[in-house]
Chains A and B, each alone.
Chain A
Amino acid sequence: MRLPSDSVESLLLSLAALALAAILFGAFVALQGLDPLAVYWTLYLGAFGTRFSIESTLTQAAPLLLTALCTLIPARVGLLVIGGEGAVVLGGLGAVLAGTALAGVPASLGTILTIAAGALAGGLWIAAAGALKHWRGVNETIATLLMNYIAIALLNHLITGPIRDFSQTLKAQSWSIPSSFMIGNIPGWSVHWGLVIGVIACAALHILLRHTTLGFSFDVLGGNRRAAQMAGLPIGRLLLLACFLGGAGAGMAGAIEVVAVHGAASESLVIGLGYTGILIAFLARQNALAVIAVALLLGGISASGGLLQRRFDMPHAATTVLQGLIFLCVLASSALAGRLKPRRSVA
């Protein structure tokens, strides 16, 4: 089992990595002739400064809570899966197909089934990569990254032909799901219910990973494959299940984008939610509860992107640069893991 001091150390390392990334990004914008402090102040205002920006941050964070799981859960069994972007697309497509097929079903049941279909599609998509890994030894990182491109090509194919809504002439998008299936906002907030679903998913996953036999089996497998084999754990099933659950998370994120925001599948599903999810999983150091905090932070960075663009005439990619720097610093900081732990006194 993990000692509490491990979590404290993880937190300290992540904070140190964030601070270093902030300094490096500050230097980067200073090189462009901008005032780093003014940039950070704007970033704060855009992310958490006003009620509107907080709402926008929460809306951005909602799908990220779920896409992070696509990397997090397989990581527990020792797989490095980065197929969240593709699973989001599959989830969105699954939701549209189910939603349009179920027209006429009572509203709340329809919503639940639509989201479940998205989760199923995303789950099977990543589970396929898990199966390839287990039975063919195909590297799961490269496979899932390739599958992202395949998923996007599939989306483009479907929304320009087979499931295209031809009444939409401005952009290619799929048929729309029945409007009664759309989920609304949390009362009093202009933030949709997807946020609540994401938080519940992370909390439930935390309990699953930390307090059940299944979670323990995942950790044994992730820690030492051979030990898992010796202990008679069903390795193939555990790998597939971890991949399925992770993919289901990202698939659900895609489905929620459909039922809460767009109402249909289009290129709007391909906005890097999966890639940001990878970063969140690493920054949270594969801890499901920490994902909630990190997703808020990254959601805030995304939410303030527009304000940064307008106020400083910065390219939109500024937030990608910042994300990349954070990622690099987090990885570099893992070199220090185990060094900060307080020495155990001999009792």
Chain B
Amino acid sequence: MTGGLDLGWWGVLLAIVAGAIRVSTPYLLVSLGETLTERSGRVNIGLEGTLVLGAMSAFATSYLTGSPWLGLLAAGLAGAALGLLHALICNLPRVNDIAVGIALFIFGIGLAFYLGKPFIEPRAPMLPGIPLGSFSTYPAIRSAFDVSPLFFIGIALAVALEWGIKNTRWGLILRMAGESADAARAIGRSVERIRTLATMAGGFLAGVGGGFLSLYYPGNWNEGLSSGQGLMAIALVIFARWSPMRCFYASLLFGGASAIGPAVQTVGITEGYYLFYAAPYVLTLALLIYSSSPNQALAGAPNELSISR
């Protein structure tokens, strides 16, 4: 129970709010990365594999070097490497980017489980949190508002990307590759290069999102660490209509939904809580159905995207 104090159903609400803050970070980072990749005209559906490999790399690096920040860097680099692999294969003619994503999903998870096996037992140094809940004496509230700096980095990134994609030269080039490859080629830009960089950046962010999982919350490394967050984040991008700021709002929603299952369990509901665990997936699917449209054209989707055709 929560530190001797039983908050009852208020505890569930608190857990959902705390979840919205805490669990949302990996959704946010992965969906921002995927937004970048998709705005360049490519889909990387394998970010779940990237997330898991990132989590393992971060944990192993933090354990071996003692620095969780180096761990985050390693996670990002591992993610960028998988992104590069995705991009290189997709740059070949007649290769389906969704299929490559599925392959990377399997490969990333396999690699993470293989290389991560020795790190399942030990403890590694964790990322510090910012104690925003210190105004309260309730331990439940204090722990609920212990916020990771990555959350704020994610928000800053969402704002910066929202602005940057609209208003900078780089944003314009990125959008051009995503909206019309021919136009980008006509002004002498290599579409392949733009997409490769965008996929690597997307992989980097997804890797860091994995690092959050293993080094902050839940803060360990095991094979059941991710439960499809990388995948849900991709669906979330569609719901957010490829806008970084809307990715942030959607991530909060998903974080809250993910917290329902564990929260319900803490108030003593022992039966049927597995159904609550399905809540984020059902929510994702429902939002996907809601945001899709029968005439197969998604509003706001980059023109070159294979999933919107």
Contacts and interface: CB of A to CB of B under 8 A. Distances in A.
B231 A141 contact: no
B96 interface: yes
B93 A150 contact: no
Given A141-B307, A142-B235, A146-B284, A327 B110 contact: no
A332 B110 contact: no
Interface string B173-193: 000000000000000000000
A321 B110 contact: yes
Contacts of A320: 106, 109-110, 113-114
Residue among A139, A147, A161 with most chain B CB within 10 A? A139
Nearest to B101: A141
A318 B114 contact: yes
B254 interface: no
- By DSSP majority rule, is chain A's interface helix, strand, loop, or mixed? helix
Contacts of A143: 285, 288
Interface string A300-324: 0000000000000011111111111
B31 to A, nearest CB: 13
Residue among A138, A319, A325, A334 with most chain B CB within 10 A? A138
Contacts of B282: 150
B160 interface: no
B106 A324 contact: yes
Interface stretch (A40-48, A61-69, A152-160, A198-206): A152-160
Interface residues of A, number: 47
B197 interface: no
A136 B103 contact: no
Nearest to B106: A324
Contact of A136 (B45, B85, B293): B293
B278 A150 contact: yes
B111 A149 contact: no
Given A132-B289, A138-B288, A157-B274, A321 B94 contact: no
A317 B110 contact: yes
B100 A331 contact: yes
Interface stretch (A1-9, A98-106, A248-256, A275-283): A275-283
Contact of B277 (A139, A153, A330): A153
B121 interface: no
Contact of A328 (B85, B281, B285): B85
Given A149-B231, A322-B110, 18 more contacts: A80-B99, A132-B289, A132-B292, A137-B296, A139-B292, A142-B45, A142-B234, A145-B231, A146-B288, A147-B285, A154-B274, A278-B102, A314-B114, A317-B112, A327-B107, A331-B103, A335-B95, A337-B94
Interface of A: 80, 82, 132, 135-139, 141-143, 145-147, 149-150, 153-154, 156-157, 160-161, 275, 278-279, 282, 314-325, 327-328, 330-332, 334-335, 337-338
5 contacts: A136-B294, A141-B98, A149-B278, A156-B274, A315-B113
